[in-house]
Structure 1
Amino acid sequence: MCKGLATLPATCLKSAKDIKHKISFLLQKPEHQAADQKQMKEKTAAAAAAAKRVPTAAEVEKWKESFSHVMNSETGRTVFTSFLKSEFSEENIDFWLACEDYKKSTTSKLATRAKQIYQQYVEADSPNEVNLDAATREETRQNMENACPSCFNEAQKMIYILMEKDSYRRFLNSKLIQDLSQTHSDIAQMKKKKSNCDCTENRQALAGGA
């Protein structure tokens, strides 16, 4: 019998659970006051659902390839958000997501929603002010006078680039990603050893029955 692997599954599962709990804990930190409570609740619910599972090895490898893979994945955005929370800079992705939601707003709600986002993230000394240069901030303010789906495009693009060139690099080197990669490496080794063990046992069983 192959008994040396008895503790491996428990070890790997514990590591995976630790990562899941870490993500969940960070996501449960008190949020800043939301401009739109309903959208915030929906976003929090989606994030909590995504945090309930550990990302697959394939997902983690994709995230390492490019920032766009992170942002195009719901689980990727959830894990990246938890990282930004640990750095106290989650306002950047909150703003980016708010802009994405804004583009889906009905025409009748554009002006109201644009004002909320501006006062929440763009205006100087706003509750969750993002890092924009003066020109972009002023351009965004002027765009609000005739609110349309694209009035935050330039500001959103600037924050995306900021996250890609700054936060994303630290994200790749973070303990969170390292732990995820190590967990999948441990699981892969466990499966390989278990497979080798099964083959050995099968050969022994065949030899014993011969």
Structure 2
Amino acid sequence: MPGLVTSPPRELQHLSMDTDNKKTGKYRGGNLKTRLQCGLSQATNSEGLCFEEMSQWAQSLERLLSSKYGINIFQAFLKSEFSDENIEFWMMCEDYKKIKSSFRMPSRANKIFKRYIQAEAPREINIDHKTRELIRRNLKAPSVVCFDDAQKIVYGLMERDSYPRFLKSDIYRTLLDSTSESVKM
């Protein structure tokens, strides 16, 4: 699995979602499509994001997640659907694997467990009981692979469910069309 971008590029930082409409059940983030287009318009002008890169996102989830813009736009899409815990968990695991200090690993592993794995966790991911228990045992001696099984499950869920919806979404289609138009000019 590819590496991860831990913070959005400067051009996309204004895409963080509002939660004001969360109570009413309205589309979260106001006019997300407009904000994404604005961010990408700036990105295409200053950073070189192009139609070719965006069209490659449709080849595989791995391609999408290997793009610094792709991962952020996908995460924004998932937030708009109130289902961003999977990508958030996946990204946390990618960061966790980069920890070099054996001193930091146990505390980070416990934070991930409490936030995503344990029953009734605030951002609980959808994994089976067997995997949850395996991770609980792995926490006794955390290593870089202690979340691998859960990460594979989550990746599979995103690949089969969220990713196809993203490719069919108005957000992706509109952004792809807008970069396509800039190529024609």
TM range (shorter): 0.7 to 0.9
Matched with 1:198 is: none
Give the equivalent residue in structure 2 for 1:29.
18
Count of matched residue positions in the alignment of Structure 1 and Structure 2: 149
Partner residue in 2 for 1:148? 143
- Residue type of the partner of 1:139? L
- Please state whether the residue corresponding to 2:182 is helix, strand or coil: helix
Give the aligned residue type for 2:43: R
Q: Greater share of helix residues, 1 or 2?
A: 1
1:121-176: per-residue Cα shift (whole Å, max 9, x none)? 00010000011111111111111111111100110111011101100000000001
Q: Is the 8 A contact 2:96 2:105 kept in 1?
A: yes
Q: How far apart are residue 25 of structure 1 and its match?
A: 5.8
Structure 2: distance between partners of 1:26 and 1:139: 36
Which of 117, 123, 126 is the matching residue for 2:121?
A: 126
Return the index of the structure with the highest Cα Rg.
Answer: 1
Q: Which amino acid is 2:16 matched to?
A: L
Distance 1:131 1:93 in 2: 12
Q: 5+ unaligned residues in a row in structure 2: which ranges?
A: 1-11, 20-38
1:91 to 85, 94, 107: 85
CA deviations on 1:77-106 (whole Å, 9 max, x unpaired) are 001001100110111111011111111221
Q: 1:73 to 1:94 in 2, by over 3 A?
A: same
Matched, 1:172 2:167: yes
CA contact (8 A) 2:96 2:108 kept: yes
> Where in structure 1 are there 5+ consecutive unaligned residues?
1-22, 31-49, 192-210
The answer on whether the counterparts of 1:26 and 1:85 sit within 8 Å (CA) in structure 2 is: no
Q: Give the superposition deviation at 1:53.
A: 1.9
Instruction: Using the aligned pairs only, state the percent identity.
Output: 38
Contact 2:126/2:154 (8 A) holds in 1? yes
* Residue 53 of structure 1: aligned partner: 43
Q: Give the Cα–Cα distance (whole angstroms) in 1 for the partners of residues 182 and 96 of structure 2.
A: 41
| Post-superposition CA distance 1:43-81 (Å, at most 9, x none) | xxxxxxx86525410111110111110011111100100
Three-state SS of the structure 1 residue aligned to 2:58 is: helix
Q: Could you tell me whether the CA contact under 8 Å between 1:92 and 1:159 is conserved in 2? A: yes
Counterpart selection for 1:68 from 62, 69, 72: 62
Separation in 2, partners of 1:149, 1:181: 36
Alignment of 1:168-207 (within 5 A): 168-189=163-184, 191=185
1:136 to 125, 131, 141: 131
Q: Matches of 2:120 and 2:163 in 1, distance apart?
A: 25
Give the ranges of 4+ consecutive aligned residues of structure 1 lying more than 6 Å apart after TM superposition.
none
- Residues in 2 aligned to 1:110 and 1:139: alpha-carbon distance in whole angstroms: 17
Cα distance in 1 for residues equivalent to 2:93 and 2:179:
34
RMSD: 1.8
Partner letter of residue 128 of structure 2? Answer: D
- The partner residue of 1:82 within 76, 82, 103 is 76
